[in-house]
Every structure is written in structure tokens, then in C-alpha cells.
Structure 1
Amino acid sequence: MPDLLGATNPVPGYDKATVNRNVTLSPENTQIQNVPDPSKVVRADGRTEQQGSNLQGDGGIRYDSNFQTFLQRLRETPSLAQSLARIFSGREGIVVSSGLSSGIAEELGRLLEMLRMDEGQLTEFLSGQLRTGTRFGGALFALLRNAYDRASSSGVQNDILQFLKTYVDFDSTSHIEGNLLRDLQSMADAMPASFAEKLRDLMAQLQNGIAAGDRKGNLSLLQREIFPYMSSYVERTHDMGTPRALLTMLALNVARYENGSEEKLLESFHQLSGYGTLKSQLGGIDDQSLLLLLRSRGAGDAGSKAVEFSDHLAAAAARAFRGEGSAEVQQAFQNLIAAMLVNESVYMPINHYLIPLQWDGRMLFSELWVDPNAEDEQGRAAGGGQKSMRFLFKMDVQSLGLFDVILTAQGTSVDVQISCPDAAVPFSKQIGDAVSGILERNELRPTRVAVRRMDRPVTLTEVFPKIFEG
């Protein structure tokens, strides 16, 4: 039968029947591509659309895995302590860094004043970070954590996670409202004036609604007026640039804003209290008591020194990004913000704290990383089954340099490894003896205190390999 659908005349020797007969089927032929199946491990083929899966985080940016991108960002992000040391340069409490406007210098001056702490103030500063470092503290979340671990079905676990997600959106209401207004402002700035005028009027209505606490009215305004107007603008002008990208971010923030309402929070809580395993423990909490409990959780830490420090640091960064600092200052703040975002990632399985300090006239910027459940099978066997805790201190000391301190504790036994700069190497014995004395005064037993010269700064993944577990 003639090939009536053929676009061209057939070439002798290359008709379909001949081609099919001449194909050599070989299991090792990489030209034959595998059917994508994430549940199976298959041989290599000629596919090029997937990037490498190097767990070390190097190579190009990964678009197929958020976790791989996190590892890459972790590998590329500079030390937070070193970034702070670049921003601050103190001499008798005066900021002397070049390229600073008067506004940034004022903010950094306030921060320098806060860095003068004694032992009690340092303890309060760290305690404030510990209290504000997690949203899930207190008896209610401890109860939910235990219920999640003991749940016999995935349904209970999913409902607990849904309640936590709703609570996070509820607790972030002011932040989400700020994001909504910033997205709309950026949209209006990127649109022609003829279209931006109406959007600014809608934004003013939203701002008034936020000030009045009218969440339902705000959602109605966003869903029935702002979204249709922006969609109409994109359709009429074919503007696929900044406004369309910001519309995607606006949709995400609106979804969180709707999910974080009191009604959604109470609905997810009632779903939890309906389970038999939780009914006896949660059934006695009425709606108003629950809302009062959740609203008052962070109120006590609003004026703490840790929160005040982060507020002044954020204000200085905002001024720098608005153009009040030189390119060098802006780069230092960019490194600082990037490090903080990586440290607060949902993929980071260890706790992180910041210790900025001025002690005996010398500046010290330190990061403290803590893994309360370090996996150390050899140590656990030797220590009678006790779990290990591992600490990493990264300290940048003015006029001395960078120190790395790795501390592993198991019960009362403590192993310490200290890497110090060249200037401190001649005093290795004194440093070791001083650390041993500190441990013994606190009723701990130093099993080993090793002090050596630093060849290179230690990486987080070397000290905490569980980061690779995702």
C-alpha cells in the first residue's frame, strides 16, 4: 500500500521495514534511553536532562532537588562569624569600617554597645536565642512531639504536621502581611503609571484592612479584585516580566495568609483532639485558651537582647541594600544574609547560635553549632549506651584569627579538639590546660584535649555528616 501520509518520497534502503530489521538490540546500548522510574536504579543511558547527584554539593545549580541545592549553598556560603568580623571593626566603641553612611554607622554603633557583655549578660543573650530559635517550645508542642513519635498511623502524623503548618502561618501573620504589601508595591513600581495608579489604590485599601485587622475583608480584596486586575493586566499587555513573577509570589503569600487564620487553626486543632490517643490530653483546652496560649508564646521575648540585636542588624543590612554603603559593605551584608538563610533552612538538622562579644577590649565573633543526638556508634558502645552530643565553635578573635573547637560529650566524658591560628600555636599547652581546668570545674571529665595548628577551617559536613541525610 502506498504511504499516503509520507511527507517526502522514501529513500531506497531507508524505508521503515528495513530500519526496523537492522536495529541491533543490546542491553548495554546507551542510545536506548531508560523509562524514567524514580523507584528503580537503572543503568546509565544517553539522557542529558538530569544533572549529577553529587552529595558534596558541588557542580551546577540543581533544579531537580531542593536538598541538593541546599548542600551546594552550604558549601559556597562563607562563615557567618567571618562575615560579622568584616562588618565590625571596633576601636573604643567607634565603627571605623570604610564606606558606611551615618545611618549604618549609627546602627552598628548600637550593636557594638550591645556587645559589651559580662558573664550574666552573655548567658541571657544565649538563652534568648534558645527561646526564640524555635516556634515549637512548651508543653503543648512537647505533647504533640511525643504523640507524633508514638503514632500508629500516618493519618495522625499528617494531621499533627498540618496543625504545625497552620500554626506557623498563624504566628507569621504580620510578616506575611508585610510581604503582601511589598509584593504589591514592587508590582506597581514595575508597571506603567496608567495601570499602577489603580493598583496603588487597591494596595491602600489592603493597608487599611491590615491596620483594622480585617483578615476576611483583606482576603476578599486580594482574591476578587487584586488578582483579577493583575491577571487582566498581564493578558492585555503580555508583560511576562517582573509583575508576572511577583504575582506568583503574591499567590504563595495569599495562600499562607488564608491558611493562617484563626478558623483554620482551630479547625486543625479540633481534628487532632478527635483522635482517641489525644482526646484525653487536648480535649480540655477550649478555643480561647488555645489562642491565648499560642499568642503569648513569643511575647515574653519581644524585648530580649537577642531579638534587639537581630533587629539592629537587620536595620543596618536594609540600609546597606538601599545604597547607603559601599560595594564592599553590601557584599559583606549579602554574605551575612546568605549564611543566615542557609543556617535556618528546613534541611539543617542541627541547632545554630551566634555569639558576638567584646571581652577585655577584644572583639570575638563566634558561631555555635549543636547536634543533641550525634550518631557515634563506637562512642555509644564505650559509654554504656549513652547518647552523644557534639558542639562546633567557630570563633574569629580580633588580632588573633580563626579558632575551630569540636567538642563531643557523652555523659560526663568530654573530648575536645582545638584548631588554632599560628599566633596561638606557641601557647598550645596553656590553652589545653585551661580548657581541661574549665571542664573539671564544671564536674566534667576531659578524656582528651588536643590543640593543633589550623591547616584549614573545618567544614560543617565534616563535623556533622548527618547533614547529608536530608
Structure 2
Amino acid sequence: MANLMGVTNPVPNYDGANNNRVASATVKPTDTTVQNIPDATQVGRSDARTEANGAKNTLQPGVHRYDSNLQFYLQVLREAPDVQEEMARAINGLRGQISAPGLSEGIAQEMAGFLQMLHLDADGFRKFFLRQMEAGNRFSGPLLSLLRQEYQKMSGENVHRAILLFLKRYSDFSSSEHIANNLSMLLKQLCEHMPKSWAGRLVEMSAQLENGLKAGSREENLKLLQSKIMPYLAAYVERTHDMGTARKLISLLMLNVTRYENGDEKGLLMAFRQLSGYNDFLSGLNKLDDAALLKLLKDNSFTQAVSEDVFARRFAQLSAKALRGEFGSQAKEAFQEILRAILLNESVYMPLRHGIIPMEWENKMVYAEYWVDPDAEKSQGHNSAKGGSGKAQFLFKMDVQDLGFLELAIASQEEQVDLEVYGPAKLAEHQALVAEDLRNILEDHGLKGKNIRVAKAEKPLAITDVFPGLFEGKRSVNVKI
């Protein structure tokens, strides 16, 4: 498989700084300073080095794992940036930039508008959080919930593959606008990284595609992409042997063209109709006509939340400008770390909902990051994370101005709630009072505080402390290299 995570063995005598060294021509098989010397006459000796570096589940900083992409991922997760700190740095940087001389009026207004969005009251926070949760669940709505139930009930490999194929098409179908924006953006970047002799023709075809994307004529757009633009770019690579940025952008463009084709409405409907032969229930769903089916797929809580999620759009726009260096080096570094953490938590290894919440509450800045497992399994480990059927688990990490760093681990099942709060010493000094206030708050919302604990934070909670079954059993993917 492709080594996408960079888990590679270092090449001896080619480490960049020392690549001019000449390897010794007289290496003896008995030399213990050189490991695993090939000897055709006998079986090589076993050295101290192992391809499963850290195979005893030790995640040592700076030490690469060779046995598993998953273990290497866990190491990267442990070394992930502190989002609360980076959010504070990014927002403080934006505030400083607003009053800086020389900033264009449009950018200043955009930054000020984003900062104004952070002023939230109790009702505003509730709407903000729920919208973030709904926008993070693409596979929502009654139709997809029914398919999820059938997937869990049916054991056949073929039906599972058919349902997953339909969901893959639905994912690309529901991302059509995003994919179209990617196509436009990548083509513009390609024009900037190609010689003028080649870029001129590409600019013309890109403009034609832009008009087609606005008109929504997918078939014509695909014809233009597949019969003109992609062959033109292939000819460019063949003639120029460009192995730089343009080559990487072309690879990304090919991926988005594939997704754009896969998200075709006709293909989506065909994939759904093919489910009818597996059981009577799926056959009954297929009695829906095309218009009713598309309405169920388009009009759900996910599409509505995405259309209303102004914060995500503003944040994405600001991030793009910050990464281009428009807000200064400090903001650029902060946004880079924030996006790195977001991508890490949205990876295939993390079956959790993840989000960030920067806000100003009663004149105090709060920078929060959260993880939610809506289908927590039975597990052993942290007290608040003993899962069960229908149990949801939450982990909040937040930095509150003038109070300090707080961590909340929550497990809820129906009206029963287990809650643990870890914070600074001044919070722990009033733990009984705080615990009683939390219990009253839960009762006001029809919930019962089964176990409530308030304590001083000794060390930051790891994700695997609150979600101990996250990388075990059916929920893990241990990819061997």
C-alpha cells in the first residue's frame, strides 16, 4: 500500500546532511556496528533492531513505528497540538491585526464580523453546539437511519458492500458543491504553477468549466474534464516531466474529478435501486419514486445545518487567508496547527464527532474542543466512560479566561448522567458546592446526576482515557506495512 503517513525506514548514509559520505567497501559480517548484513551463505544473525520498533506499545516521542500505521497514528495523536492554546493565539492575532495600519477595509470587516460571532449567550451556545453536531453527521435523516438498521441486522457481505457503495455515492452527491469549488480552486492554482505557454489554454478551459459548474450541467462538465482538461494536463506532464507542485495539484484534481463523477444523481439512484433484491424491507423502500427519494436525501438535518453553519464558512475563509500569510506569521502558524488537529481528529481512525468552540461568554473568552461518541460500547477504563447500549460519551477540554483549564468527561444513558470535572486548585477547593450546583442544573433539565465528581486536574485526560475501546476490537483498523 502507499506509504501515506511517512512511516519509512531511514536510508543509511543518505540523511541529507551527510549524503556525501562514502560507505565503507570492507564491511565484515562479524561487524556488530552494522545490522543485518546480507550473507548469501548463511542465515543472517538477529540484531537488536526490529521492524516493529516500539512493538511493546510504547509510544516514544520521535521514535517511528514500523509494525502498524495505527500505532504510528496513536503516537501522532499524542503529539497533537493544543487546540485551546492555538485558538487563543489565532484570535488574539486577529484582534491585533484589525487595528494594524495598512489593512484593507474588506479584510478588517471580515475579521471583525468573525470575532463578533463569538459573542454567545446560553441560547446562542445551545444553537451553535447543536448545529455543529448536526453538520458533522452527514448520514442523518429517516432513510439513512433505516439503512443503518438494516446494515446492522443483515450479515451478508454482498448486501453490506451494496449499502456502503450507495453511501459512498451519497457522500459524493451531498458534497457536490464542495467538490465543484475544489475543481475551480485546483485549476486556478495549476494555471499559476505552469509555464505561460501551457497556462493560457488551461485558463480558457477553466473559465468554460466555471460557467458549467455554475449552471449545474454535470454531464457537460464531466465531458470537458475527461476529454479535454485531463488529457491536456497529461500531455503537459509527458512533455515537461514536471514533478513539482503542478504534478501534485494534478493528482488532487484527478481525485476530485472521480468524486464529481461518482456523485452523479443517476448513479446515486441506480445504487439505491440495486438494494431491492436483498430483502423485503429494502424492496419496500424502493417503491419510493425518484423525486421522493431525492427529497429524503436532500432535505435532512445535515443539509440544513450545513446551509446555516455560517461559523464554519467564515472560519474556513479566514483559515485560507491566514495560511497565505495575509494576517502575519503568528496567525499563520496558529491556523496551521488548528487545521492539523482538525484533520487528525477527522481521520479514518477516529470514529468520534469532533468540534471546536471559541466563544465570548459574559465578557470571558472560552476556547473549547470536544469529542462525542454517540454509540459508546462497553469498555473498561475511566470511571465516566463505562459504556453500554445506547450510551453517549462526551469529552470537553476548555480554557476559560481568569479560571484556567477545565476538562469535562460525561457519559449519559437516557436520563442518567455521569459527570467528572477536572480543573485548577481553586475549583477543587469548592468541589462539594460545584458538584451540588451541577446536580441542580441537570435536574432542571430533566436529568439525574448519578455520579458527579469535581477534582483538581493532575494531568490532562487522554482521549483513550475517556474512550478506552476506541482503538480496540471492531472499532480499530490495524494496517500492517
Contact 1:170 1:262 in 2 (8 A): yes
Select which of 292, 316, 319 maps to 1:317. Answer: 319
Select which of 170, 174, 191 maps to 1:171. Answer: 174
CA deviations on 1:211-265 (whole Å, 9 max, x unpaired) are: 2222122212222222222222222222222222222212111111111111211
d(CA) in 1 for partners of 2:327, 2:365:
22
Select which of 234, 241, 251 maps to 1:248. Answer: 251
Select which of 422, 434, 438 maps to 1:419. Answer: 422
Select which of 284, 295, 299 maps to 1:296. Answer: 299
CA gap of 1:106–1:300, structure 2 versus 1, over 3 A, is same
CA deviations on 1:169-216 (whole Å, 9 max, x unpaired) are: 111112112212222222221111111111111212211221222212
CA gap of 1:218–1:244, structure 2 versus 1, over 3 A, is same
CA gap of 1:166–1:385, structure 2 versus 1, over 3 A, is closer
Q: Structure 1: which 5+ runs fail to align?
A: 1-21, 32-43
d(CA) in 2 for partners of 1:73, 1:122:
31
Query: Under a length normalisation based on structure 2, what TM-score does the superposition of the two structures give?
Result: 0.79
CA gap of 1:159–1:333, structure 2 versus 1, over 3 A, is same
d(CA) in 2 for partners of 1:358, 1:405:
19
- Residue 144 of structure 1, CA deviation: 0.4
d(CA) in 2 for partners of 1:384, 1:59:
33
Select which of 357, 364, 367 maps to 2:366. Answer: 364
Larger mean CA deviation between 254-263 and 438-447 belongs to 438-447
d(CA) in 1 for partners of 2:53, 2:251:
26
CA deviations on 1:74-97 (whole Å, 9 max, x unpaired) are: 22222333322222349xxx9346
Query: Under a length normalisation based on structure 1, what TM-score does the superposition of the two structures give?
Result: 0.80
Contact 1:374 1:390 in 2 (8 A): no
d(CA) in 2 for partners of 1:447, 1:47:
48
**Secondary structure at the counterpart of residue 258 of structure 2:** helix
- Residue 132 of structure 1, CA deviation: 1.5
RMSD between aligned residues: 3.2
Matched to 1:329, the amino acid is A
Aligned counterpart, 1:13: none
Contact 2:191 2:203 in 1 (8 A): yes
Select which of 345, 348, 356 maps to 2:347. Answer: 345
- Residue 431 of structure 1, CA deviation: 2.1
> What percent of counterpart residues are identical?
40
Provide the aligned length of Structure 1 versus Structure 2.
Answer: 426
- Residue 335 of structure 1, CA deviation: 1.4
Contact 2:373 2:392 in 1 (8 A): yes
Mapping 1:164-203, distance limit 5 Å:
164-203=167-206
d(CA) in 2 for partners of 1:320, 1:434:
41
Select which of 335, 338, 342 maps to 1:336. Answer: 338
2:145 counterpart of 1:142 = yes
Matched to 2:210, the amino acid is Q
- Residue 161 of structure 1, CA deviation: 0.1
Aligned counterpart, 1:95: 95
Select which of 158, 162, 185 maps to 2:161. Answer: 158
- Residue 437 of structure 1, CA deviation: 2.7
CA gap of 1:414–1:262, structure 2 versus 1, over 3 A, is closer
CA gap of 1:386–1:324, structure 2 versus 1, over 3 A, is closer
d(CA) in 1 for partners of 2:48, 2:407:
44
Contact 1:57 1:69 in 2 (8 A): no
Contact 2:377 2:389 in 1 (8 A): no
d(CA) in 1 for partners of 2:58, 2:201:
49
Contact 1:407 1:417 in 2 (8 A): yes
d(CA) in 2 for partners of 1:62, 1:168:
32
**Secondary structure at the counterpart of residue 88 of structure 1:** helix
Matched to 2:373, the amino acid is D
Larger mean CA deviation between 345-354 and 421-430 belongs to 421-430
- Residue 110 of structure 1, CA deviation: 2.1
Aligned counterpart, 2:392: 389
d(CA) in 2 for partners of 1:211, 1:281:
36
Select which of 261, 273, 276 maps to 1:273. Answer: 276
- Residue 413 of structure 1, CA deviation: 4.4
CA deviations on 1:336-372 (whole Å, 9 max, x unpaired) are: 1112222222321222243333222212222232223
Aligned counterpart, 1:14: none
d(CA) in 2 for partners of 1:319, 1:218:
29
Contact 1:57 1:73 in 2 (8 A): no
